Each structure stands twice: as C-alpha cells, then as structure tokens.
Amino acid sequence: MFQETPRLPSRDGVLRAAEKIAAILPPTPLLPVEIGGIRCWVKAENLQPIGAFKIRGGWHRLTDLSDDQRARGVVAVSSGNHAQGVAWAARKLGISATIVMPRDAPQVKLDATRALGAEVVLYNRPGEDREEVARKICDASGATLVHAFADPWVIEGQGTAGIEITAQLGRQPSRILACCGGGGLAAGLSLACPDSAIVPVEPFGWDTLGRSLLARSIVRMGENPPSTICDALQPMSSAQINLDVLLDRSDPGVAVTDAEVRSAQRLAFSRLRLVLEPGGAAALAAALSGKVELDENTVIMLTGGNTDPDSFAAVITGTH
Amino acid sequence: MFQETPRLPSRDGVLRAAEKIAAILPPTPLLPVEIGGIRCWVKAENLQPIGAFKIRGGWHRLTDLSDDQRARGVVAVSSGNHAQGVAWAARKLGISATIVMPRDAPQVKLDATRALGAEVVLYNRPGEDREEVARKICDASGATLVHAFADPWVIEGQGTAGIEITAQLGRQPSRILACCGGGGLAAGLSLACPDSAIVPVEPFGWDTLGRSLLARSIVRMGENPPSTICDALQPMSSAQINLDVLLDRSDPGVAVTDAEVRSAQRLAFSRLRLVLEPGGAAALAAALSGKVELDENTVIMLTGGNTDPDSFAAVITGTH
C-alpha cells in the first residue's frame, strides 16, 4: 500500500527537522483565545506561506533526498495541502514534482499547486486508486513518493510545530488538539511533546485513526463513506507507522460534525480574524463543542486556510 | 475642537508605552508577502484581541490616568476600533467607558464594543457633531475624553507597533505604509521609526492628512464628502498635534479607491488567510496598486479585521 521504509520517526528527527525549518520559516503565531471562560491557545498554521502546516513535512523530506533522488523528482498524492507543501519545497530546491490530486479538490488548491510549478495529475475520488496512479508514475520515472502521512520524515516535519509551541509557551502544552486525516501531525506532535496529551480530531464518520487506536490495528473506511466538508481529512485509513507512534500515547480523540466545523470557521472569522478551511477548523470545532476538556495550557492546531471564496462566504453568512 | 493638552508626544513616550504593552500583549506577527516579485512584510494588527491596533493607544492612555481620573470614567468617539481599544483597556482597569459611535457603524463593531462592557451612545454620521456629543458627556460627568488620534498618549501607543516591527525585522524598515484616518498611527510610527519613510494611505476623496501635509496646515473635508467603504478612515480632518509630528517627516502619502481596497481584501483572504476590514486593507491596497515603491524592508500595516460577514462575503465573491 505505502512505500515501505525501515526507518522509524524519532524525537531526534523532529529536533533536526525543527532546526532546518527554523532556518527558512519564521514560527507561526501562537495566539490566545477564550473559550467558555478559559484562555487557551491556537497555533495559526494557516499563516504558513502555503496556508497549511504541510510545508513542514515537505521541506524536511525533500531536503534529505540525495542528489540522485532529487534528479529523479518527487511524486505526492494529496487533496491539496500536502500537494502545496511538496510543490513549495520542490520549487525552492529545483526538484520536479508531480502531484496526484482528486478532481473534486477545491479550485484554490489545484490553482495554487500548479502556480508552485508542480505537474498536477487528476483522479476521481471515489473509484480510482490514487496510490496506484502515483505508483505507476514512480515506476516509470524513478521518482520518490512522498506520502502525505505514512512517512518518517513527514511525521517528523509536522512535529516541528510542537517544538515551536513549546518554545512559545515556555513549556509543553497540557493537551494538543490536532486536526487529523492520516495522523501525520498527531504522530509528529506526540514525538515533539511527549508530556502533552494528543487529541486527534477527525470528521464525523471518518474517524479511522480513532477507531484504529481503539482496535490497536488499522481500520479502513467501509464502502459508501458519509460526506464531509473536510476535504483535507479524508484518507481511507491511517497507516501502521502512524499507529505505532500513537498507540499508548494518544487519546482515541473525537469526531466533529460539519455543523460544528462551520461554527468553528465562523468563530475564527469573527473573533480571530483568520480564514480557516473546514479541515483546518476541526480541532477548534472540538474545543468549542465541549467534547474536550480545556485549560490554560491547551493548544488548538489551526491547520489550514485554503478554501474557495464561494464556500467560505456561504459558511460565514450561514447560507451554505 | 479637540481636548487641548500642552504635552507633545515623544519617542521616549513611545518606548515607555512599548514596555507597558509588551507586558500585556504579545507582538503581532510580521509576515512575509510577495508583491510583484518583491518580498516585503505585513504587520498583522488585525490579530490583536480586539482585531485592530487601537488597543495600543487605549492601553497607554488609560494606564496613565490618575486614580481620580479613573474614578470619573472615560469617553471616546469612534466608528468602532478605537471604541474597542478604549473599552478593552477600561474593562481590564475597572474604568467605566462611554463610546460615541455613528449609527451606521458595522454591526460587529457596535456589538463588540457593548460586549466589552462599554456604554454606546449613537449619533447620525452626517449632521450631528460627534465631538459636541462627547463633550457634553464629559462636561456632565467629569470623564476624560480619549481622542482617537489627537492625543499624545494615543499617538505614542500606536507607535509601539513600530518598536515591535524594528525588533522583528532587526532594523527600522525602509518604508512603512500605514492606513490613515486622522494620523495617529502615522505620527506614532514616525516617532518610533525616525529612519523609516512613513507613507500614510487614505481613502480616495478622504485624503485630508495628505492635503494637510501639502498645505502645511489642517485641511478639512468639504460639504458632501464622497462615499467610501473604509468606515474606519473617515474623520473630517486630521489635527494639529498629528500634523506637527508628521510635517517634514512623512510623505504626503497616497489615496486608494474602493475597488483597490476590495482587491487587497481578496488578496489577504486568498494568499494571507487573514480577514481585513476595508480600512484595514488600505495600506495593502496602496502596495498592490503600484503607487508606492516597495523593497524587501518595506512594511505594510494591516490595521483591522472587524467586518460584517455579509460585507466580507460580498467582497471575496466579487458580488458587492
């Protein structure tokens, strides 16, 4: 299924990645927010140059490629944020990038990925096997597949957000709420902040990581998955490498509904003056829903802000 | 016209204000943005707790009130951002605040000011003399008038943004583009950053500060002023105290049209993932319009993000 690699992600790897990322990207802001009378924190990863935290894993992975690997290019599969993370890093390093994206990805994500110089190959979200599409490209070109979450570098790279948070807060958070698709960010944060409780937040009906943590083995989505507005959080399953890191360290987490996600986008608009895409607002939705205990050392990850104007307008005016 | 005070604002005053503000508010982010191939910077004052830089002047002024003055309360006149700055500081210090606001102020600004515990007194924007309304309240209660820009503390407080920028950039900027109503921010920045060129940006037809700088004396708006979407940048004139600071230090600045302001709001939405109100996007509009030279040490002030959802939705979808 996934490109296998014997290397396991490590805290040392996260620290090494954090040094590389600090050299090229300023820390994203950690901003106070009051929820239900408790002042906690949001980490505004939507303010990254590509509008999402995925730039971290992309940079750590691509900078560790050998000259020979760089010459053969990279391939990624992504609904749009990992796509931009890999494309951004590839352009900066002069590496050719091919990104396999679903035909129904938000237009802003398709446009932005192409604007970063990547070649975009489209597939149909239900039906075509996107991993298969990517593998064929890799087989033909010798390119390296950069998986969106089942990759030790990507996990370590995403974890660097936790190193920044610890420096900004002056300690490890009590708890970190992380928007969760495959679990790359959650796994990276658990390595970066071993003293923090990690709470993965998934879309309702798409809580494959949560169910995998409870089952202690990978649970895949069944046939006819429910719809969700969180286009960034729809992998068909997590992966063993993520589960291995998170087992015995992470809560099974919580799931949030589309309505809860929209409320969180509205609050981010009106009280934080931040633009969040649905998937980027999932952790905030969990905090607002009362499903997670909050305290003054709780950090809520705001993971992305790439959303089409029409969709965002419908959410903030309540006419979706 | 304005409450007279013999004290002049000073750079020492800005430095003292900066210490007070650093003790209570984290620096707002300075974020990179590429415009026309040049990487310059935006100072995201829309991420202040009240969504605007006005919290700075409000805090510096109110913390310097005597116990006796605090007991008698404060009065401010504002279309909504200075209102929230004063109300926020007043609530934190246990001071009663009365804010005179135009009846046509954005609903979010009226709601937020009341939510901060201030008493809001409405007036009709063309017709009623808002200074007169405020003076009557002060005469009756002995409250202190906190002017939105013609006040040495307010000027010094707004200037603290320039101290933060200098620390974040590692030097004074070559040039600072500042959204401009009465000129409190522009005057404060020119004290904070004497080596930087200050470029006030006003709405088209409302460039009273620019015209005052050219005439070297206060020029007031005439009858029948043109309409502007920049509700925060509509004073009928600047004031002598602001002009005195800015004369011989500041460019006359530039004026931006409503269409240019909307383009800037759209770019902030899609590329910076930030919510800006029209008046808060004026400096960015000037940068995008090509009316101001940019370089890698240019800083663009994003001064506010308090906008009604319907208005913002219309702007980003292009259906205003």
Is-contact B192 B11, C-beta < 8 A? yes
Higher-pLDDT residue of A124 and A201 is A201
> Are A150 and A75 contacting, i.e. CB atoms less than 8 angstroms apart?
no
Percent of chain A with pLDDT over 70: 98
Amino acid in position A64 = D
The domain limits of chain B are: 11-52+151-317, 56-145
Chain B residues contacting A via beta carbons under 8 Å = 26, 28-32, 44, 46-47, 49, 51, 108, 266, 269-270, 272-276, 305-306, 309-310, 312-314, 316-318
- The pLDDT of residue B155 is 98
Q: Is the pLDDT of residue B5 over 60?
A: no
Architecture of domain A56-145: 3-Layer(aba) Sandwich (3.40)
CA A288/CA B317 separation, integer angstroms? 28
pLDDT of residue B186: 98
Is the pLDDT at A3 greater than 60? The verdict is no
Quick: pLDDT tens for B79-133: 899 999 999 999 999 999 999 999 989 999 999 999 999 999 999 877 788 889 9
B11-52+151-317: which CATH topology?
Rossmann fold (3.40.50)
The two domains A11-52+151-317 and A56-145 share their CATH topology (first three levels equal): yes
Chain A contact probe: residue of B273, B308, B315, B316 with most A CBs at under 10 A: B273
Chain A residues within 8 angstroms (CB to CB) of chain B: 26, 28-29, 31-32, 44, 46-47, 49, 51, 108, 266, 269-270, 272-276, 305-306, 309-310, 312-314, 316-318
CA distance A52 to A54: 5
Contact call for A47 and B272, based on CB within 8 A = yes
pLDDT tier for residue B1 given thresholds of 50, 70 and 90: very low
Task: Name which of B106, B102, B147 is nearest B127 in CA terms.
Answer: B102
Inter-chain residue contact A273 with B309, CB threshold 8 Å: no
State the average pLDDT over residues A164-171.
97
Specify the DSSP class assigned to residue B73.
Answer: -
Residue A2 has pLDDT above 80, yes or no: no
pLDDT digits (tens, 9 = 90+) for A222-260: 888 899 999 999 898 999 999 999 998 888 899 999 999
Alpha carbon distance A292, B13 (integer Å)? 45
Sheet holding B74-77, edge to edge: B119-123, B97-102, B74-77, B144-145
Give pLDDT, residue B163: 98
Coil/strand/helix, residue A128: coil
Burial B52-77 (b: 16+ CB within 10 A, else e): bbbbbbbbbbbbbbeeeebebbbbbb
β-pairing, B144-145 vs B254-256, is: unpaired
**B59-83 residue pLDDT tens:** 999 999 999 999 999 999 998 999 9
Q: Is the pLDDT of residue B209 over 60?
A: yes
Phi and psi angles of residue A119, each rounded to the nearest 5 degrees, phi first: -85, 130
The amino acid occupying position B100 is V
Chain B residue with minimum CA distance to A302: B273
Does the distance separating the beta carbons of B47 and A274 come in below 8 Å? Answer: yes
Mean pLDDT of chain A, nearest integer: 95
ipTM of the complex as predicted: 0.94
The CA dihedral of B187, B276, A51, A24, to the nearest 10 degrees, is 0
Cα(B103)–Cα(A192) distance, integer angstroms: 51
- A198-237 exposure pattern, b = at least 16 Cβ within 10 A, e = fewer: bbbbbbbebbbbbbbbeeeebbebeeeeeebbbbbbbbeb
Choose among A248, A246, A249, A252: nearest CA to A286.
Answer: A252
- Mean pLDDT for A160-183 is 97
This prediction has a pTM of: 0.94
The count of other CB atoms within 10 Å of the CB of residue A41 is 21
Question: Strand, coil or helix: what is A270?
Answer: helix
Q: Does the pLDDT of residue A125 top 80, yes or no? A: no
